[in-house]
Every structure is written in structure tokens, then in C-alpha cells.
């Protein structure tokens, strides 16, 4: 079966792209799906989240200095490999501008290895520049994390326009895998309102799984680990396992904000949701 390449994209900064790429990759790996995590952001946050600092990086493969196998590293998870990034990649955005087929560099780099993995996840930088364009050209699917806050939908229209353009001109098979609500806070009325609004607009394209705001997810990277290896029982780690299950088409128990708020070990004062919880849409990603 052909491996699926998923680009994690949102040009807005700090919405949970890297946290999603890192923890979804770990969740696929513990579900025994061979997974490749490609760090395509010069900030290299996905690399440091796995404690990786490498001499050779994705940049070297993109400019043809080596092949991707030379820059692929093992991780503490048997089924997960990582292609690290680093500051050199800042230059690629400029250096590749004059290159032939500049938006097809990543797809050619991945061509020889994609079928070795059930999933390849690409962590993108917060822009719609050439690196993200390469990711969209290489990908089968786009996963869009949206932070549950007031300006969540800002910029989404231009992101979706870009996806449409890439689909029309460069990558006809490109589809939206889903919109993922991140950093949801069941005690915050606004968070619930944003969820409601996004589900009204995008219906079945929104994952049933909602990622809660969870301190373990923000602590884990400083230990060089995904949340599953830092605190497997945390709500953060569990919610990404749930997302992986949803993507694998076997979601059994959707996580919703109300379930999180009502669970016995939820934060103090968080015993009931303070907003109406949307019924779950049918047929998401099935």
C-alpha cells in the first residue's frame, strides 16, 4: 500500500503545528505504523522535540548534496524515523527561488522512500513560502491545526486558496485531511464558541478529536521527548493517540471538550462545560 504524506500546515505562528506533527508521529509509531517525521521548518522545533541536533539536515537533501537516507535518523520509538532541520534551511527559501522546478524539490527527495513508511508527516514553517509550497506539492493530504482562540479563522481563507491553487497547478491529488482544533480549554467559553463556529463552517472536515490545552504537551519538548514518552497518561498524549486512531479510521470513543471537562482528574473547578457542546458530525474521515 502506498504511504500517505501529510503536511501539517498553517501560516499562522504558534497554533500547534509542531506539537501535532511530533505527537501524531509518535502516536502512529506506537500504533506500529512505520512513520517518517520530516522537519521542514528552519526553527527545527520538531527536531529538538526529539532531542536531535544534526550536522546534515533536510536542507542538504533539498539542494542535492546528499540523499534523504543520509539525513534520516532513528528515534527512541522503533517505528519512527526523523529527518531533522536546522538554520541552514533559512537560506533554502532564497537559494531555491531561481532553481528549476523549485517547488518539486521535496517530492523528488521523498520519492525513493515514501513507500517505506505508512505515514510521512511534514512539519511546516509559519508561512506560505517556498518551503510550505514544497510540502503541499509533495503531500497527499493537508492537516490544518487551528488554535481555539478568537482569531482562529483569520488567514484560513488564504491557506485554503493556496491549497486550491497547488491542487489546480501542481498536485491534483491534494486533499484536506482535516482541521484540528488545538489548545482547547473547557473552562473557557470562547474556546467552545470557536469549536462551534469552526464545526458549523467546515462540518465533517473538522476532526472529532479536539486537542486540549495540556501542560505536558508544552513540557515534553524540553526533555527531548514526545508526550507519549514523557507522560503517556497525560490528556495531551492521549488526545494525540485518539487523533491517530481517528485517522486510522478506528476511532472508538471521540474525545470532546465535555468529556475532558467531566473527567475525574480534570483540573480543579472544571467539572462541567460552560458552553453547549456540539453534537459530533457523522462520517468524519471515514
Of 12, 17, 105, 187, the one binding Mg ion by CB under 5 A:
17
Of 158, 200, 218, 272, the one binding ligand ATP by CB under 6 A:
218
Residue 33: phi and psi, rounded to 5, are -105, 125
Using CB under 6 A as the binding rule, the residues of this chain from 116 to 145 that contact ligand ATP are 126
Binding-site partner at residue 213 among Mg ion, ligand ATP, none, CB < 5 to 8 Å by type: ligand ATP
Residue 265, Cβ density class (10 Å: 0-12 exposed, 13-18 middle, ≥19 buried): exposed
Of 10, 18, 47, 238, the one binding Mg ion by CB under 5 A:
18
Nearer to ligand ATP, 3 or 42 (CB): 42
Q: Which stretch binds Mg ion (CB under 5 A): 43-51, 68-76, 203-211, 253-261?
A: 43-51
Core vs surface per residue 187-198: b (16+ CB within 10 A) or e = bbeebbebbeeb
By the rule CB under 5 A, 12 interacts with Mg ion: no
- Residue 28's contacts (CB-CB under 8 Å, 6 or more residues apart) are 35, 79, 80, 118, 119, 121, 244, 247, 248
Of 16, 84, 86, 192, the one binding ligand ATP by CB under 6 A:
16
By the rule CB under 6 A, 33 interacts with ligand ATP: no
| Crossing angle (nearest 10°) for helices 235-247 and 17-30 | 70
By the rule CB under 6 A, 18 interacts with ligand ATP: yes
Q: Shortest approach of ligand ATP to residue 137 CB, angstroms? A: 20
Angle at the Cα of 113 from the Cα atoms of 125 and 39, rounded to 5 degrees: 20
Q: Shortest approach of Mg ion to residue 222 CB, angstroms? A: 15
Nearer to ligand ATP, 17 or 199 (CB): 17
Q: Which stretch binds ligand ATP (CB under 6 A): 173-181, 193-201, 207-215, 275-283?
A: 207-215
Binding-site partner at residue 78 among Mg ion, ligand ATP, none, CB < 5 to 8 Å by type: none
Nearer to Mg ion, 118 or 227 (CB): 227
Binding-site partner at residue 139 among Mg ion, ligand ATP, none, CB < 5 to 8 Å by type: none
Q: Which stretch binds Mg ion (CB under 5 A): 18-26, 89-97, 213-221, 241-249?
A: 18-26
By the rule CB under 6 A, 260 interacts with ligand ATP: no
SS3 track for 227-244: HHHHCCCCHHHHHHHHHH
By the rule CB under 6 A, 114 interacts with ligand ATP: no
Segments in the chain forming alpha helices (H): 17-30, 45-49, 58-62, 68-71, 89-95, 105-111, 130-138, 156-169, 189-202, 215-219, 227-230, 235-247, 257-262
Torsion of CA 26, 58, 121, 4, to 10 degrees: -130
What is the Cβ-side half-sphere exposure of residue 201, based on CA atoms within 13 angstroms?
12
206 SS3 class:
strand
Site for Mg ion, rule CB under 5 A:
17-18, 45
Enumerate binding residues for ligand ATP (CB under 6 A).
13-19, 41, 43, 45, 126, 182-183, 211, 213-214, 217-218, 236
Amino acid at each position: 500500500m502506498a504511504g500517505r504524506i501529510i503536511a501539517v500546515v498553517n501560516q499562522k505562528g504558534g497554533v500547534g503545528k509542531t506539537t501535532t506533527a511530533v505527537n501524531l508521529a509518535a502516536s502512529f509509531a506506537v500504533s506500529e505504523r512505520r512513520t517518517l517525521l520530516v522537519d521542514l521548518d528552519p526553527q527545527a522545533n520538531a527536531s529538538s522535540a526529539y532531542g536531535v541536533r544534526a550536522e546534515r539536515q533536510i536542507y542538504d537533501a533539498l539542494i542535492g548534496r546528499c540523499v534523504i537516507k543520509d539525513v534520516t535518523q532513528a528515534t527512541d520509538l522503533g517505528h519512527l524515523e526523523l529527518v531533522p532541520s536546522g538554520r541552514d534551511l533559512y537560506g533554502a527559501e532564497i537559494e531555491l527561488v531561481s532553481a528549476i522546478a523549485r517547488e518539486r524539490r521535496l517530492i523528488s527527495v521523498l520519492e525513493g522512500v515514501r513507500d517505506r513508511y505508512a505515514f510521512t508527516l511534514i512539519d511546516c514553517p509559519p508561512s506560505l513560502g517556498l518551503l510550505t509550497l514544497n510540502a503541499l506539492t509533495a503531500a497527499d493530504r493537508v492537516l490544518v491545526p487551528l488554535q481555539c482562540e478568537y482569531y482562529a479563522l483569520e488567514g484560513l481563507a488564504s491557506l485554503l486558496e493556496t491549497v486550491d491553487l497547488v491542487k489546480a497547478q501542481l498536485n491534483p491529488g491534494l486533499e484536506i485531511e482535516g482541521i484540528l482544533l488545538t489548545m482547547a480549554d473547557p473552562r473557557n467559553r470562547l474556546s467552545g464558541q470557536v469549536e462551534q463556529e469552526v464545526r458549523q463552517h467546515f462540518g465533517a472536515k473538522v476532526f472529532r478529536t479536539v486537542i486540549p490545552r495540556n501542560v505536558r504537551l508544552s513540557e515534553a519538548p524540553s526533555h527531548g521527548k514526545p508526550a507519549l514518552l514523557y507522560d503517556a497518561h497525560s490528556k495531551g498524549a492521549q488526545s494525540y493517540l485518539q487523533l491517530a486512531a481517528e485517522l486510522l479510521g478506528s476511532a472508538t470513543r471521540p474525545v470532546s471538550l465535555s468529556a475532558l471537562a467531566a473527567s475525574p482528574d480534570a483540573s480543579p473547578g472544571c467539572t462541567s462545560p460552560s458552553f453547549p457542546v456540539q453534537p459530533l458530525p457523522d462520517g468524519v474521515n471515514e
